[in-house]
Amino acid sequence: MKARFVPVRYFFIALVPILIFYLDAVITDHFLTAELPVGPEILSDDPAWLETIGRYRFLGATWFFAALALMVFAMVLWDLMQPTAPQTRIAAAVVLVLIFVLAMSPTVDYALNPDALRNYDRLGGALFEAALGRGSLPGCETPDDSWLLGICGDNPMISLLNRMMDVVNFFAGLGVGGLVVGMVLCLEAQRTDGLESQAVQLQRNLHRMRRQLYLSGLVLTFGIFFATSWMRWPLPMVAEAHEDAYASVISAASLYTGIYFSLLILSFYLPVAVILEGRRRHLIRVAEQEATLVDAKTRLEWIKSHGLLSEPADVYKSAFALAAPILAAFAGNVPLAI
């Protein structure tokens, strides 16, 4: 079995999602309010146990997203354990480490500066502290007590939110790194002799690319459900007079996140799709010169049999996968239930 070979230059595709990551940071730092002036005055006097509504949603979304991200990372590790050229394996490892480090950079920043503003401060830090402060964690009787991931602190539920966000950063780094590397590995470029073997390889690459795209849409769609879950955590405790206004803020924030995630998918899918489309067109031109495929009907059947014909259904599926995080942002804010 030949070792998989992907030219190292293709791994520079990873710089595109990294650029999107930095553009998001620039937009967030320079165009969004660092600390939204929304406080506990918009909270209702409803029972404190309403806090558990948001907690169940948050923990469920965290668990499932982390499981998906870990699955993606395990898949790409298994892929790289197959016979692979050393330079391909090294380049893939470098990309995985780089994306993981970038994903963990906020967690490192918070560890070095515990008083730094958190993501929830953009939606009203005082509101989150007051709303989540109505809940409690088992074993957290005093601020110095410990729970599963650290010290309880003055507000155990805020400690829970912060620690779980750090956990998600860890798994997001693994998952997104796996998605990017998995997509680049679809550009396998073995030197094969004969039109038939080239067609078989290209068909395999196109199949892998579509699978990776659908997987990316799935993972980042549930990333949106995770983001929406923590954004909506205080909402069950907001007074009815302020509920619609604050829900609109959450909807706008989740829509922005959905657009960011869709652009992230596009950033590593589009370069691969363009390269494989170029290979597909080149192979069809070569097939036109093949003596056994001179007849147009025979050539068309050959193209179809090797999966090299662009189908409208594939375009629609790809578009849906790319837009899935945006659609999830809309779905996550449909006012069917708080």
Q: What confidence tens digit (pLDDT) does each residue in 9-51 have?
A: 999 999 999 999 999 999 999 999 999 999 999 999 988 899 9
In this structure, the number of other CB atoms found within 10 A of the CB of residue 297 comes to 7
Coil, strand, or helix at residue 211?
A: helix
DSSP 71-138: HHHHHHHHHHHSSB-HHHHHHHHHHHHHHHHHHHHHHHHHHH-TTSPPGGGGGTHHHHHHHHTT---T
Biggest CA pair distance of the chain: 82
Q: Strand ranges (DSSP E) for 135-217?
A: 146-147, 150-151
User: For the chain, percent helix, then strand, then coil, each to nearest 5?
Assistant: 75, 0, 20
Grouped pLDDT means (10 residues each) for the chain, 338 residues = 86 97 94 93 91 95 97 96 93 97 94 91 95 92 91 94 96 97 92 74 91 96 95 95 94 95 96 93 76 64 72 85 92 54
As given in the structure block, the two tokens for residue 198 are 């080239």
Alpha carbon distance 38, 335 (integer Å):
21
pLDDT score at 338: 44
Q: Among candidates 37, 234, 58, 229, which has minimal Cα distance to 133?
A: 234
DSSP structural state of residue 198: H
pLDDT score at 202: 87
